[in-house]
Structure 1
Amino acid sequence: MSNLTRFDPLSLDPVAELFQGFFRPMRSTLTTQDTELASMKIDMTETDGAYSVKAELPGVDKKDIDVQIDGSIVSINAKVERNKEEKEGERVIRRERYSGTFSRSFSLGVEVDEANAKAEYKDGVLSLSLPKKAPGDRKRLTVS
């Protein structure tokens, strides 16, 4: 038995799939100075008492990493500087390594205990240990 699919002549899905990536190869041949935006890959795990975050930051110096915690929102900012030294007689054919700043922010389910949070950077991986803040006593309001 064959599978039938319904055709919708007004749908833009086939058109979007047709042009996806169509201009990408042309863009990289237009100029050699074009660079892709850097992305920060993260892994996050949770236990009853803490969150653990590992972020890949290859080529970043430890002094150029900034981690900010505001309640349950964590922001990681990093700056990468690449040496753009060119020797006489050389011309750049292609430059793909990213140089600049990039950041990533995410919200956690529970506020983080900022005083006990720890960060370690080793071999291009930033490891964050973010203990959960103990839930405070809830204040009960009486309805009048």
Structure 2
Amino acid sequence: MANELQNRNNLFDSLMNMRNWMNDDFFSNLTPVADHMKTDVTEDDKNYTVKIDMPGFDKKDIHINYANDILTVTGHRDTFDDDGDKDGNVLHSERRYGQMSRQYRLPDVNKKDIKAQYKNGVLTITLPKMDETDDDENHIDIE
């Protein structure tokens, strides 16, 4: 009886290890894009500041849009020229290419004064908040 229980436990352990291995292998190729556009968002009384790691992108391939309280940042990177050896063999590659995009909900931004800077692989976007006088809301008192 003890031998049968031990075999059952070994089979269960083997199945769990196989499941973990399959999940690791399967999901390793489905890493969210967010992992490749690491972002810090800070806020103070006057601005939102968004810093996004985008190493290896050309400035001309980064597009920024702000509409309906949503900041959208999209980057496009072509394939890498240095992939593999002289025969094109690649053993392992984690660098991504293609199009990547992130969105951030940042309300009440003064659109005309948004500024962006790209330096040393970091995109910094400063989004000034609207002054209360700039607000489109118009309170009407009831008589």
Query: Match for residue 3 of structure 1?
Result: none
Structure 1: runs of 5+ lacking an equivalent: 1-16, 29-33
Pairing partner for 1:59 from 43, 56, 61: 56
Q: 1:36–1:96: 8 Å Cα contact kept in structure 2?
A: no
What is the DSSP-based 3-state SS (H/G/I as helix, E as strand, rest coil) of the residue aligned with 1:22?
helix
In the superposition, the TM-score normalised over structure 2's length comes to 0.69
Give the 5 Å matches for 1:96-115: 96-108=94-106, 110-115=107-112
Deviation, structure 1 residue 126: 0.4
Residues 67, 20 of structure 1: alpha-carbon distance in 2 compared, 3 angstrom cutoff: farther
Deviation, structure 1 residue 23: 1.6
Between Structure 1 and Structure 2, the one with more helix by share is 2
> Which residue identity lines up with residue 112 of structure 2 in the other structure?
A
Residues 27, 67 of structure 1: alpha-carbon distance in 2 compared, 3 angstrom cutoff: same
Query: Match for residue 21 of structure 2?
Result: 22
What is the DSSP-based 3-state SS (H/G/I as helix, E as strand, rest coil) of the residue aligned with 1:92?
coil
Aligned length, in residue pairs: 122
Structure 2: runs of 5+ lacking an equivalent: 1-15
Q: 1:71–1:111: 8 Å Cα contact kept in structure 2?
A: no
In the superposition, the TM-score normalised over structure 1's length comes to 0.68
Query: Match for residue 68 of structure 1?
Result: 65
Deviates more, 1:68-77 or 1:87-96: 87-96
